[in-house]
């Protein structure tokens, strides 16, 4: 009798154990798999993939960007710049004119290179950039620094992958090496440039202090100069070079992009630097 009772209890235990294993455990297993998929290793959206799937090629571009991008100290403010020329021990740096305004009163400019060296700099006055937001600094160094190369294309294409670099402004520590490198895509090209020469819109986040820094294509070539970030807090930067003003709808759309001056605008105004690009600028306006 006891043997029969024991066998019955064993059977009942196996029956419910089987149900537990068949119907309950798989549910927990599925929940575990779902939680694993929520970890952003293989994101589903394009933007998420761009944020997390950094390829070795992109790492190479970032390393290159660090070498040709410099921090510009201008008075009590800071911005960014691009190493564009070397002549013996003399280096020239491309940046924005609005970056230079802060040091204009006392001609107080310094360049910090990727190796942490700081150099006194001065404005190069041989160029007439008219009303374009461009300027060039010069400094002396016996160190050997890499010089940026320029894209041969006048204007990039919509949806092209681009990389922006620079040094966000940190008022409590201007000399801090806070290099920033972001990935995005070209999302707007304005037929008319804004005042200052801005014409290329892109999705990268640009912070204050990254003005004057480079905008690269996937070939490590400069296609533009950063200068305007998304959602400006004051004023209306969307005034075109012919004096017309963007409509409220245009302003709303344009404020969703960061904006750069095409490198070809700079080369048209300073043709001596065309040696870094073999493209004919005759038809570029």
Number of domains in the chain: 2
What range does the domain containing 135 cover?
A: 60-140
User: Average pLDDT for residues 1-8, to the nearest whole number?
Assistant: 44
Regarding whether 197 and 113 lie in a shared domain, the answer is no
Decide which of 109, 140, 171 is a domain's last residue: 140
Dihedral of CA atoms 72, 155, 126, 107 in degrees, nearest 10, equals -20
Regarding whether 201 and 129 lie in a shared domain, the answer is no
Which residues, including other chains, have CB under 8 Å from residue 148's CB and lie 6 or more apart?
Answer: 68, 82, 83, 84, 214, 222, 276
Q: Provide the 10 A C-beta neighbour count for residue 108.
A: 15
Domain with 185 in it: what CATH number?
A: 2.40.10.10
The predicted pLDDT at position 127 comes to: 92
pLDDT tens digit sequence for 183-201: 999 999 998 888 899 999 9
CB 117 within 8 A of CB 127: no
Among the listed residues 212, 232, 278, the one whose alpha carbon sits nearest the alpha carbon of residue 71: 212
Regarding whether 119 and 73 lie in a shared domain, the answer is yes
Regarding whether 211 and 124 lie in a shared domain, the answer is no
Bridge partners (DSSP) of residue 138 are 92, 122
User: Average pLDDT for residues 19-36, to the nearest whole number?
Assistant: 31
The predicted pLDDT at position 155 comes to: 83
Q: Predicted confidence band at 175 (pLDDT cuts at 50, 70, 90)?
A: confident
Regarding whether 165 and 126 lie in a shared domain, the answer is no
Among the listed residues 261, 256, 255, the one whose alpha carbon sits nearest the alpha carbon of residue 284: 261
**Does the residue 264 lie in any domain?**
yes
Dihedral of CA atoms 213, 171, 77, 89 in degrees, nearest 10, equals -60
């Amino acid at each position: 009798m006891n043997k029969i009772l024991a066998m019955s209890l064993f059977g009942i235990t196996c029956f419910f154990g089987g149900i537990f294993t068949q119907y309950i455990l798989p549910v927990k297993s599925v929940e575990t798999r779902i939680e694993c998929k929520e970890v952003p290793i293989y994101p589903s959206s394009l933007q998420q993939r761009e944020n997390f799937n950094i390829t070795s090629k992109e790492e190479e571009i970032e390393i290159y960007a660090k070498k040709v991008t410099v921090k510009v100290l201008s008075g009590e403010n800071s911005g960014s710049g691009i190493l564009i020329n070397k002549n013996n021990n003399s280096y020239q740096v491309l940046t924005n004119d609005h970056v230079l305004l802060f040091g204009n009163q006392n001609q107080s400019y310094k360049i910090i290179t990727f190796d942490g060296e700081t150099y006194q700099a001065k404005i190069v006055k041989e160029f007439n950039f008219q009303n374009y937001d461009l300027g060039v600094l010069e400094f002396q160094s016996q160190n050997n620094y890499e010089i940026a190369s320029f894209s041969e294309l006048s204007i990039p294409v919509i949806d092209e992958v681009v990389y922006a670099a620079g040094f966000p402004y940190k008022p409590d520590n201007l000399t801090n090496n806070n290099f920033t490198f972001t990935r995005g895509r070209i999302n707007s090209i304005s037929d008319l440039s804004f005042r200052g020469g801005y014409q290329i819109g892109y999705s990268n986040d640009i912070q204050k202090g990254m003005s004057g820094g480079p905008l690269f294509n996937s070939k490590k070539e400069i296609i533009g100069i950063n200068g305007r970030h998304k959602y400006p807090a004051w004023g209306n930067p969307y005034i075109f070079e012919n004096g017309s003003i963007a409509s409220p709808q245009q302003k709303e759309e344009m404020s969703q992009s960061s904006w750069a001056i095409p490198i070809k605008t700079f080369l048209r105004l300073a043709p001596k630097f065309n040696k870094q690009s073999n493209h004919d600028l005759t038809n570029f306006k």
